[in-house]
Amino acid sequence: MGTITLELFSDDAPITVANFVAYIDAGFYDGTDGMGATIFHRVIPGFVIQGGGLTESLDGKNTMPAIVNEHGVSGLLNTRGTLSMARTSDPDSATSQFFVNLVDNAGLDRGDGYAVFAQVTEGMDVVDAIAQVPTTDSPPFSDVPVDPITITSVTLE
């Protein structure tokens, strides 16, 4: 749907950024690893868009080991346009999935929180457009875009 440019916060969230870069270097997100590109599989207007772990057929990709949650260490907050690592209820379970905050999500900063590691610097209009696409339920997933939104290219500068 367009290009999104990020600034990575390697000084504030070094473990999380190193993890994200390792997935980029491996071709994980854009599918140059041979296992298929990942999609934005969860779109909730007024909250987040989430991606980076499932293929267009909603199959999960094999991930690297989970990383420690750097939330609370960095002081970074889940504000509009920031990226954080998605995880399970275990605070130290983040692997490849990330989300972009569509609004200030102070609730994601409480307790163990979610580790912010980047900020959208260009393309927030693209993020907002993704947030408006029609979604459906595809058990066990909900809020899945009707038409897949695929990550086609990821580059580091």
At 100-124, the pLDDT tens digits run 999 999 999 999 999 999 999 999 9
Domain contains 150: no
Domain contains 152: no
Report pLDDT for 9. 98
> Do the beta carbons of residue 52 and residue 16 sit within 8 Å?
no
Question: Sorting pLDDT into bands at 50, 70 and 90, what band is 69?
Answer: very high
Residue 7 in tokens:
């600034």
Q: Indicate yes or no: pTM above 0.95.
A: yes
CA distance 91 to 94: 8
**Local structure of 120: helix, strand or coil:** strand
Cβ neighbour number for residue 137 with a 10 Å cutoff? 9
Residue 41's domain spans which residues? 5-145
Report pLDDT for 137. 97
> Do the beta carbons of residue 2 and residue 123 sit within 8 Å?
yes
Q: State the chain's mean pLDDT as an integer.
A: 97
Percent of the chain with pLDDT over 90: 97
Domain contains 155: no
* CB neighbour class for 151 (10 Å; exposed up to 12, middle 13-18, buried from 19): middle
Report pLDDT for 74. 81
Number of domains in the chain: 1
Cα dihedral sign, 2-156-59-115? negative
Domain contains 157: no
Nearest to 143 by CA among 134, 131, 135: 135
Domain contains 65: yes
Domain contains 154: no
CATH number, position 23: 2.40.100.10
Whether 75 shows a pLDDT value over 90: the answer reads no
